[in-house]
Structure 1
Amino acid sequence: MESITQLFDGLWHDYSQRLCPSAAQIQRLLTEDATLLNDHIALRTFGLPKCGLAVVAAPFIALGYQPQDKYHFSAKKLYAEYFMHPNPSLPKVFISELQLGGCSAELQLAVRSLLDQVNDDYFRQPDFIHGGRPWELDFATYQFLVAESEYAAWVAAHGFGANHFTVSINQLEQFTCLDEVNHLLRHNQFVINQAGGEIKGDSAVMLEQSATMADEVGVSFRDGVHNIPGGFYEFAKRYPQSNGELYTGFVTASADKIFESTNR
């Protein structure tokens, strides 16, 4: 079994090398004296028994993570849960899955044909969650999936890995609000996700979030390499609850717009 350190090191390496190469530059812009604290990471999958949310969560649960709350995104046909570790310094883990029953028969067939290429044993290895794409895919299928579900197309093209890491703004001294962080990012030529407003949420819901738009990355398809949206970087500021402890959950309306960071 991988240790927690090995698991997150593997996820970060895959994310920063393959999915979001700009992550290292953003880290350099925001890092102060201490290492950046990661609020949460997010993973995507298809809602099938072979690779569904429970399968993706298993490596984290084996290392002490516990389920916390459930979220439904009906327009995007997504279901999600988040997980926390008893050690509060470890990142929260937000896992979503596409509920295929709500999708067209053609999309369901396309997704199942991808999964049919992969042996069940593959998903029993804990490092599969940062193993990339275990199936072959042609660009026409990707384009077909994009037309119905950007989320389905993303998972089909990239496979498994963190679609984003999230800087906790609460630990920073130089920046106390997301406006300041977004201004710095724009000054350095990063594009900020504008869906639902540049800052999603507020102090009333005890969570504010913003995100870059996903890096365009070259992905190998059966018929050549194409540049498509990969991973993005998120930024979160949490507010204290009535008991004085920081809110640890997520806000469905905000998360719904964060998903759109991987839209073209």
Structure 2
Amino acid sequence: MERVEQLFNALWQDYTQRLCPSAGQVHDLLEEGEPLLNDHIALRTFNLPQVGLDRLAAPFIAIGYKPCGKYHFEAKKLYAEHFEHPNPLAPKVFISELMVGQFSSLLQQTVRDLVNQVPEEAMHDPAFLYGGRLWELDYATYELLSAESEYAGWLAAHGFGANHFTVSINQLEQFTEIQEVNHLLRHNGFVINESGGEVKGSPEVMLEQSSTMADRVPVNFTDGVREVPGGFYEFAKRYPTADGELYRGFVEASADKIFESTNQ
């Protein structure tokens, strides 16, 4: 587990410093003397050979993770897989990729131009997972991509890193319902993602989720610093399946709305 902890600590440092500075405040609100249990993280990429889902999965597979589920998001033109470690306490990993070929030729060419700047050797060091942007980008290109795909704009601006960590509600003692957590967060000034409802999912699908809306964070574009949506924090409550074990997968309809936590 040591290698798992090292990788997630590095991802957490990048997430809290660069993408979601408010995560520390969420921790302070929810922590009960025990470290919060992280249900899963999510990573984004483009489905191009240099940076595709398999490249992001490789460092996790090297430390024992295995692929466990596949997901399709037709409207957003995304494909995703989730990975689990044999140790049930290790966070799950949800990796999605943008199906670049399904977009306009302008977006395709723009994304290819960005990805072609990535040095091949960078992708062989697991540190790329929390290395941020490996290409140059101006603000107009960010706006152009965002207009066609919010996901493409976000990924172009931030590069690689966890767009969210997820608090496992099952482990908390003072809260048993996601609504209670949302109420506490709202009371402390956080905005909750209400796309598809404040709580996504239900006991019937064995998973309930909610999330904050992304922090606005400064990004260095080639023509100056601008504030754009960064990372967000998610909350998940899992229900037991017929065998009594907590459900371990993801629900496409819910995940589809969680993606919108980074919308402008």
Partners of 2:83 and 2:117 in 1: how far apart?
29
Structure 1 SS opposite 2:155: helix
Partner of 2:51: 51
Partners of 2:166 and 2:117 in 1: how far apart?
32
Give 1:3 deviation, angstroms.
Answer: 1.9
Taking structure 1 as the reference length, what is the TM-score of the superposition?
0.99
Partners of 1:240 and 1:170 in 2: how far apart?
11
Partners of 1:4 and 1:166 in 2: how far apart?
16
Structure 1 SS opposite 2:109: helix
| Identity over aligned pairs, percent | 69
Which runs of 5 or more residues in structure 2 are unaligned? none
Partners of 2:196 and 2:116 in 1: how far apart?
37
Partner of 1:182: 182
Partner of 2:147: 147
Partners of 1:79 and 1:93 in 2: how far apart?
14
Structure 2 SS opposite 1:162: coil
Structure 1, residues 124-182: CA drift from partner, whole Å, max 9, x if none? 11110000111110000000001000000111000000000000000000000001000
2:70 corresponds to which letter in structure 1?
K
2:224 corresponds to which letter in structure 1?
G
Structure 1 SS opposite 2:163: strand
2:179 corresponds to which letter in structure 1?
D
Partners of 1:6 and 1:46 in 2: how far apart?
25
Partner of 1:233: 233
Give the alignment of 1:74-89 within 5 angstroms: 74-89=74-89
2:21 corresponds to which letter in structure 1?
P
Give the alignment of 1:45-194 within 5 angstroms: 45-194=45-194
Structure 2 SS opposite 1:9: helix
Partners of 1:43 and 1:230 in 2: how far apart?
13
Partners of 2:148 and 2:181 in 1: how far apart?
33
Taking structure 2 as the reference length, what is the TM-score of the superposition?
0.99
Structure 1 SS opposite 2:261: helix
Partners of 1:16 and 1:41 in 2: how far apart?
13
Structure 2 SS opposite 1:117: coil
Partners of 1:68 and 1:202 in 2: how far apart?
21
Give 1:33 deviation, angstroms.
Answer: 2.1
Give 1:247 deviation, angstroms.
Answer: 0.2
Partners of 1:205 and 1:139 in 2: how far apart?
40
Partners of 1:142 and 1:245 in 2: how far apart?
43
Partners of 2:241 and 2:155 in 1: how far apart?
35
Partners of 1:115 and 1:88 in 2: how far apart?
35
Give 1:116 deviation, angstroms.
Answer: 1.4
Give 1:258 deviation, angstroms.
Answer: 0.1
Partner of 2:11: 11
Partners of 1:220 and 1:127 in 2: how far apart?
20
Matched, 1:196 2:181: no
Give 1:90 deviation, angstroms.
Answer: 0.4
Structure 2 SS opposite 1:32: coil
Which runs of 5 or more residues in structure 1 are unaligned? none
Structure 2 SS opposite 1:3: helix
Partners of 1:176 and 1:54 in 2: how far apart?
36
Give 1:101 deviation, angstroms.
Answer: 1.1
Partners of 1:118 and 1:34 in 2: how far apart?
40
Say how many residue pairs are matched: 263
Give 1:66 deviation, angstroms.
Answer: 0.2
Structure 1 SS opposite 2:258: helix
Structure 1 SS opposite 2:25: helix
